[in-house]
Amino acid sequence: MADKEIAVSVKDIHKEFILPQSKNSTFKQTVVNIVKKNNKVTQKTLDGVSFNVHKGDFFGIVGRNGSGKSTLLKLIAGVYTPTAGNIDVHGGLTPFIELGVGFNPELSGRDNVYLNGALLGFTRKQMDEMYSEIVAFAELEPFMDQKLKNYSSGMQVRLAFSIAIKAKNDVLIFDEVLAVGDEAFQRKCLDVFEGYKANGQTVILVTHDMETMKRFCTRAVLINDGEVLMTGDPKAIALKYSDLNQRSIDSESLKKNASHMDSASSIKTYTSEGQESVSFKAGEKICANLSWKNLKNVDQVVLNIYKQSGEHITGFRYTNTANRDSVWVSMAPNVMPGSYQFMLQTFSIDNIQLDDAPRLFDLSIRNQYEDTLDEWSGLVYVDHSWLDREPETFEK
């Protein structure tokens, strides 16, 4: 990799924004802020980001919402100016932060193509050369002299998209906004990306869709909270990313579950080592403490497991002969990775439900072996083994 030519080099980029409430947008505010000596409140969006994009890379910039990836894109595109650091672009660069920038509904389709092209940095001559290809690709030949406002929204998108994909430059940058549109349009997008990859076009793609990234990107960078978490292999980055997502889901779940603890019946889940947790690997042992301290005369307890989407996976019943107010259950649910919910139902001896508003407690099941996701499908994992002859236990 080191001997490859560098197309874009990002060196120790910092970006801070002044938050809007501390901005002076009228003289009155300015005066007020000076008199009150209000300090400007800044927000660090990027904090020392560095990476290189090589020529021929299909480079992914990924991160969760608010991680700073779009800011990074705008910095590379030259729309924002970094607070500190350097971005060197070798060769021409065409950014597509949005399709159809500058489109004017009062102009004809033809005029809009030229206007958009000029704004993207193409000369009139270059646009003359590309024009017929763009129109042909958009399949809009008969409409080019009509005003854009008379186009359907689908036609407008097609025109804008055609300009984008016919654009030729050393480096192209796409934001994930390209992923909007119907299925046919998205497939067209993906075909175009396929073509770029095959031709060795240098592309920078900003996305939070791991499937797209794994499919196209040769290298990627994972941004989190304004810092580079990882650079390199897209597969490794996808794993790290889902891990990151899982952690945030878990902390949400813990918070939500804790808020239900004061209800009539409650559930707490632990690992086999006694660590409180809401996220387990498929098949991992889960120890759950079920309690109904505020209820009297509980005869039957049912623990139900639902998938997030609502399917009832299973339910087990405990008969409370000793009149306890809590019980432990240990289990190892071998279910499809995903989000699940527990619900505890309590019944009296006459089979009357005692807690009439049982809460749902969140639980996440992770993939056991990170890459075996594709090897089975469905709701639950059924233990199985493949044999090349009939089982030995058969009676001969």
Partner 1 sequence: MRYMTTKNRAILREMVVTDFKVRYQGSILGYMWSLLKPLFLFAILYIVFTYIIPLGKDIQHYPVYLLTGIVLWNFFTEATMQGASSVVARGDLIRKVSIPRYLVVITSTLSALINLGLSLIVVVIFALFNGVMPSLEWLMMIPIILELILLATGISFLLSALYVKFRDITYIWEIFLQAGFYATPIIYPLTKVPEQFHKWFFINPMAQIIQDARYAMVTNTTTTVWSSVHSLVALSAPFVIVIAVFIVGALYFKRHSAYFAEDI
Q: Which is nearer to partner 1, 15 or 158 (CB)?
A: 15
Question: Of 6-14, 51-59, 78-86, 214-222, which part binds partner 1 (CB under 8 A)?
Answer: 78-86
Q: Which is nearer to partner 1, 25 or 321 (CB)?
A: 25
Quick note: the x/- pattern for partner 1 over 120-159, rule CB under 8 A, is xxxxxx-x--------------------------------
Parallel/antiparallel/unpaired status of strands 227-232 and 93-96:
unpaired
CA angle 329, 341, 243 (to 5 degrees): 100
Q: Which is nearer to partner 1, 13 or 301 (CB)?
A: 13
Interface with partner 1, residue 89, by CB under 8 A: no
Residue reference for tokens 């763009």: 134
- Token duo for residue 265: 């019946």
CB-CB contact of 64 with 249 (8 Å): no
Tell the smallest beta-carbon distance from residue 116 to partner 1 (Å).
9
Tell the smallest beta-carbon distance from residue 94 to partner 1 (Å).
9
Please name the residues in contact with 199: beta carbons below 8 A apart, sequence gap of 6 or more.
none
Q: What whole-number distance in Å separates Cα of residue 313 and Cα of residue 89? A: 54
How many binding residues for partner 1 (CB under 8 A)?
A: 34
Tell the smallest beta-carbon distance from residue 22 to partner 1 (Å).
12
Which of 79, 84, 236, 349 binds partner 1 (CB under 8 A)? It is 79
Spell out a b/e string for 33-45, using b for 16 or more CB atoms within 10 Å of the CB, else e: eeeeeeeeeeeeb
Q: Which is nearer to partner 1, 121 or 315 (CB)?
A: 121
Cβ atoms within 10 Å, residue 271:
14
Interface with partner 1, residue 84, by CB under 8 A: no
Spell out a b/e string for 135-161, using b for 16 or more CB atoms within 10 Å of the CB, else e: bebbebeebbeeebeebeeebbbbbbb
CB-CB contact of 248 with 255 (8 Å): no
Tell the smallest beta-carbon distance from residue 95 to partner 1 (Å).
7
Question: Of 94-102, 159-167, 330-338, 359-367, which part binds partner 1 (CB under 8 A)?
Answer: 94-102
Q: What whole-number distance in Å separates Cα of residue 234 and Cα of residue 59? A: 9
Parallel/antiparallel/unpaired status of strands 279-281 and 286-291:
unpaired
Interface with partner 1, residue 39, by CB under 8 A: no
Tell the smallest beta-carbon distance from residue 29 to partner 1 (Å).
9
Q: Which is nearer to partner 1, 126 or 368 (CB)?
A: 126
Interface with partner 1, residue 30, by CB under 8 A: yes
Interface with partner 1, residue 119, by CB under 8 A: yes
Distance between the two ends of the chain, CA-based, in angstroms?
61
Interface with partner 1, residue 42, by CB under 8 A: no
Interface with partner 1, residue 25, by CB under 8 A: yes
Enumerate binding residues for partner 1 (CB under 8 A). Answer: 17, 23-27, 30, 74, 77-81, 95, 97-98, 101-102, 104, 106-107, 111, 114-115, 117-125, 127
